[in-house]
Structure 1
Amino acid sequence: MNRPLLLVVAALAAATALTVVLAVTLGPRPARLGEARSGDAALVDRLVDAVGSDRLNGVSVAVVTPDGAGGSTVTTGAAGTARGSGRPVEAGTSFETGSVMKPLTGHLLADLAADGRVDLDSAVGDLVPDGPLARTGAATLEELATHRSGLPRLVTSPGQLARSFVVPFGGDPYTGSAPWLLERAGEDGVPGGAEPTYSNYGAALLGHALAASQGRSYADLVQDRVLTPLGMTDTVVVDRAEDLPTPRADPGAASGLPRAPWLAEAWQPAGVGTWSTAPDLARLASGVLDGTAPGVAATEPRADLDGDRIGLFLDHQRARRTHPDLAQRRHGRFDGVRRGRPRGRRGAGRAQRHRHPDDGGRPGPARRAGPGAGRPVSGALELLGVAGPLLVALAFPLALLWLVVADLRPGHDRPAPTRTAGVSALAQAVLGLTLGTFTTPWGTVPVLLWWLAAWLLCLGTVVLAARWRRLRPVARRPRLERAGAATWLVAAVAVLLLLA
């Protein structure tokens, strides 16, 4: 074997070995629904058919069936394993609720209003007489609960924007205490009378304003007035990791890698730090169906939101999915206890998925088992969310490889690249692969494409190292260095667009 061919074979072998090491240590781990099953066999079969086997690690569901005499029966089913512990998911396994907590905040508001403790038409500033919110909180409690307060989805600050970038990498973007959020809302102003705009900020403000008016914490108040009367003993509101429930299914990122639980007192009423089980959510559904739930008036429609009618954080949506009896939370809405267009069955479920439906810094749980799970990706934005990170992951390693081998083509007199350009291209390739690893939904995209991107990066790295002594120390043409700066600008824009 001649020397050039031997070098090529050695480079390919080294790149392959490095790719295997990279895959074992940092590669994506797509979720797969395990073989474990429990509960009603027929329900579990429908459940697995609805969610598929390549999107979830584990799922738990409860179906509430009215008996026609004012009561109901509850059927539960579970499949797969819990992330973190690896134990089979069962009916009693806790999952992050995310925005399913908002309806409970709505029930809390309606219950306090029914007791005469607050008025839905009162300004939120009236509940917190001390501080800036008393002057700037003109939005009514009903406007906050129907997303018409004028507040944005989240606090708009450089700090919040920076924290949102940790979400794809498994970090917790939320921070802050209840007093901080009340103070910040007062500084931002809550005008009310606005067009409907989905707002976690507004939900968090409402919950803490209600608690402040009663001299309680939100966690204690919702426990006493809503959770305990419903018998929801497995539903918890926490802000410390040591208080997380067990057994539980830990959350995961889009890559399938672990994600930290989200914990921040400031955002509890919007669904951060809140955990529940499928049977507990069934108790809520049963209480709504028979009219015994505290604050049941929260379910009555009051305003329009995104083409649907909304009560106090509860949407009324037409059944328009393949499996109408398996409810799901979508975009922060709790379909499981809707009162519009009565049907024979209602469901409440929890699922552990690769990605959080509100990834990007928006509170929300993994989508519950339902008819929408596993449907084909559609829409330009969803397509960008799938294809964008993958293209970045492939493009930058390919650019690195081209940079270090382009001048070796026979018949070309292209000068060798500079060391600066090589290091810059390597850094961009590492950035691209990292971004693709943590933000591509690998339950939808074949993992083989990640292996290809990683192999291109490793091959480019091997060739760069092998040719290092022959690379030019500096560029002879300043325009080449300007071109390198331009590629970094393109990389930065790509990162911001994909993480935003």
Structure 2
Amino acid sequence: MKVLALLSGLITALLALFIAPTPPTLGPWTTGDPALAERVRQAAGAKGYRGLSVAVIDDGRITHAGVGDGGGPDPRPVGPETAYELGSISKATTGMLLADLAADGLSPDTPLRELLPRVKFSDPAVGAITLAELSSHRSGLPRLRMTPMTFARSYVATLTGGDPYGAQGPQSVLDDLAAVSAQERGPVRGTVRYSNLGAAVLGLALAEHAGTDYESLLRARILTPLGMDSTVVLAPQDPLPAGHATGQDENGRPMDPWRDHGSAGAGGAVWSTSGDIAKLVKAVMDGTAPGADAATPRFTEKPDRRIGYGWFTTRHGERDITWHNGATGGFSTYAAFDRASGRGVVVMGNTSKPVQGIGLRLLGVGTPGGDEGPPVQSLAFALLFSFAGLGLLVSAFRNPTLDRLSVTGRFLWAVLFLWLAYGTGGWSFVPPLVWALGAGVLAAGAAAALTRWRAMPVSGGPLTWRSWPGPALPAVLLIAFGLATAL
């Protein structure tokens, strides 16, 4: 039994190496300014990024560089025209819409109920939230309205790389707003509490005020005046922009684009380029952009960080950096500037690894070598979930009273956790060999258990309905996740 288990484990571990997680790395391609490209590589570090499109603004002059590629079936070098999912940088442009409309007479203290009279608020206090409170995350609204269905969708998306929101339109966002209860609101209105729901609602409320939809308002007020022709809000059936980058997570899994166009004001379904966002940053920095006053800090979140309408300003030593970042399933973005020095930066990456650290280093804040260490959760998933089969291996050798149902249950749970480790482990920091070894441990345990299979009873006790959940539950989860991945 020991020899069979050892051979099975070794062969499986070797085969698993061919399908183990493969964290993205920056390829050799370089476009744009060579000196800037080299600085980007030094700032990014070794793993976790696939293609970075970067712009640096220095005293009004914009310099571009691209390193790596856009991924997908036909990978190409990235540059200032490569489209990326923008994510939450849209919250900054939504804040600029508020500032621009305020200059035309719309009061930032206007309550929601005046602009959205058709919404039937479950909690009347939600209707009293002002536009300024929404834009500065002081509304008390939750980050997202979490129901059992949205939680399940989000969890499945984490495992499968799918879109956690689906084609959520404006009405879905307004329905979530109407359903927010007093218990779901924050304990202290006026305290900064980051809310995607609040930013999405702000975009819809401003569009309602203007008598149009959010994309049309954004294009008329911000994009067209600044010549940002490559920035788009995609409807569910719209094709992705030509020449777009393909998103991946930090482990190299392809990620579906997010289609929640109803949340465009918060970053849903918005695509842009580093070239376009560099125009935005330059114009905000020099004060010529419509609604540029949105970047003025107005409210304090904590001693070193304040917020205006959408834009954050953080103190780094003696320097104030005004910024916003973005993160979707397979993309990370960052736009920032230091008005005092006249320097700004835009960084776009087509993996889920944050790019904020790269941007700060290019501004002279922070040190080279990649972003900080991984979340403890990612390390735990990689190191613990990979070896879930260890329990089956030990039981196969040490437990004299094994039964078939318990062995099947332990095997299926171990397979499920090995799958979880593959998708959620921190493989940019933990060698993928660890995952392959975990697969080998599971195979060794299964082989050892199979040598005793004929002698095992079906169940360790009387066969009742209580005997079946152990193997049935992981089987159902594996089937469900498999179907979700296939679809």
* TM-score, normalised relative to structure 2: 0.84
Conserved in 2, the CA contact under 8 Å of 1:299 and 1:338?
no
Counterpart for residue 496 of structure 1: none
SS of the residue aligned with 1:105?
helix
Of residues 36, 61, 66, the one that matches 1:78 is: 66
Alpha-carbon offset, residue 62 of structure 1: 0.2
CA distance in 2, matches of 1:260, 1:251: 7
> Which residue, 129, 136, 139 being the options, matches 2:129?
139
1:306-385 equivalent positions in 2, closer than 5 A: 306-307=302-303, 308-319=305-316, 329=325, 336-338=335-337, 342-353=340-351, 355=352, 369-370=358-359, 371=361, 374-377=370-373, 382-383=375-376, 385=377
Alignment correspondent of 1:468? 453
* CA offsets 1:188-227 (integer angstroms, 9 cap, x no match): 2697833210100100110011112222111121112111
Where 2:386 maps in the other structure, the secondary structure is helix
Q: Name 2:180's counterpart in structure 1.
A: 188
Report the counterpart of residue 361 of structure 1 in structure 2. Answer: none
Residue number in structure 2 paired with 1:498? none
Q: In the alignment, which residue of structure 1 is the partner of 2:287? A: 291
Which of the numbers 380, 383, 400 marks the counterpart of 1:388?
380
Q: Which residue of 2 aligns with 1:199?
A: 195
Q: 1:212 aligned to 208, 211, 215, which one?
A: 208
- Cα distance per residue 1:218-276 (max 9 Å; x no partner): 11211121111111111111132642112122211242211111111222111121111
Offset of 1:97 from its aligned partner? 1.1
Q: Which residue of 2 aligns with 1:174?
A: 165
| Secondary structure of the structure 1 residue equivalent to 2:64 | strand
Q: Within 5 Å, which residues of 2 pair with 1:36-185?
A: 36-66=29-59, 72-84=60-72, 85-116=74-105, 118-133=106-121, 136-169=126-159, 170-175=161-166, 176-185=168-177
Relative distance call for 1:128 and 1:189 in structure 2 (3 A) is farther
| TM-fit CA distance, 1:156 | 2.2
Shift of 1:386: 2.4
Using a 3 Å threshold, how does the CA distance of structure 1 residues 476 and 455 change in structure 2: closer, same or farther?
same
**Structure 1 residues 258 and 20 mapped into 2: Cα distance closer, same or farther (>3 Å)?**
farther
Q: Which moved more, 1:465-474 or 1:57-66?
A: 465-474
The secondary structure found in structure 1 opposite 2:268 is: coil
Q: 1:243 aligns with which of 228, 239, 250?
A: 239
Q: Give deviations 1:276-323, integer Å, cap 9, x for gaps.
A: 1111111001111221111111111111124411110101112369x9
Conservation of the 8 A alpha-carbon contact between 1:327 and 1:369: no
Secondary structure of the corresponding residue to residue 243 of structure 1 = coil
Q: 1:17 to 1:325 in 2, by over 3 A?
A: farther
Q: Secondary structure at the match of 2:421?
A: helix
Structure 1: distance between partners of 2:17 and 2:209: 53
Separation (CA, whole Å) in 1 of partners of 2:333 and 2:191: 21
Please give the secondary structure, in 2, of the residue aligned with 1:391.
helix
Gap regions ≥5 residues in structure 1: 1-6, 67-71, 358-365, 408-414, 493-500
- Structure 2: gaps of 5 or more residues: 478-487
Distance 1:376 1:198 in 2: 22
CA contact (8 A) 2:51 2:70 kept: yes
SS of aligned partner of 2:350: strand
CA change 1:348–1:246 in 2 (3 A) is same
1:51 Cα deviation (Å)? Answer: 0.5
CA drift at 1:396? 1.3
Aligned residues: 451
* DSSP 3-state at the match of 2:37: helix
Which letter maps to 1:311?
G
CA distance in 2, matches of 1:44, 1:266: 36
Q: Distance in 2 between matches of 1:345 and 1:63?
A: 7
8 A Cα contact 2:313 2:320, kept in partner: no
Identity fraction in percent: 34
Give, in whole Å, the separation in 2 of the partners of 1:468 and 1:55.
Answer: 43
Q: Compute the displacement of 1:331 (Å).
A: 8.0
Q: State how far apart, in whole Å, the 2-side matches of 1:266 and 1:49 are.
A: 38
CA shift for structure 1 position 11:
4.1
Do the aligned residues in 2 keep the contact of 1:404 with 1:463 (CA within 8 Å)?
Answer: yes
Q: Which amino acid aligns with 1:142?
A: A
Q: Distance in 2 between matches of 1:241 and 1:17?
A: 45
Corresponding position: 1:450 with 2:435: yes
Amino acid in structure 2 at the alignment position of 1:162: A
* Contact 1:65–1:346 (Cα < 8 Å) also in 2: yes
Amino acid at match of 1:101: S
The answer on whether the counterparts of 2:26 and 2:49 sit within 8 Å (CA) in structure 1 is yes
Instruction: Report the CA distance shift for 1:96/1:288 in structure 2 as closer, same or farther (over 3 A).
Output: same
- What amino acid does structure 1 have at the position aligned with 2:30? R
Does the 8 Å contact 2:48/2:250 carry over to 1? no
RMSD: 3.1
CA distance in 1, matches of 2:372, 2:101: 43
Q: Are 2:299 and 1:303 equivalent residues in the alignment?
A: yes
Q: In structure 2, what is the Cα distance between the partners aligned to 1:334 and 1:256? A: 18
SS at match of 2:294: helix
2 CA distance for matches of 1:79 and 1:33?
7
Letter in 2 for 1:124: L
1:362 matched residue in structure 2 = none
Over residues 417-474 of structure 1, what are the superposed CA-to-partner deviations in whole Å (9 max), with x where a residue is unaligned? 1111100110110111111110012112111111111111222223333432232322
Q: Alpha-carbon deviation of 1:334?
A: 8.5
Change (3 A) 1:278 1:457: same
* TM-score for the superposition, normalised by structure 1: 0.82
Q: Residue 171 of structure 1: SS of its match in structure 2?
A: coil
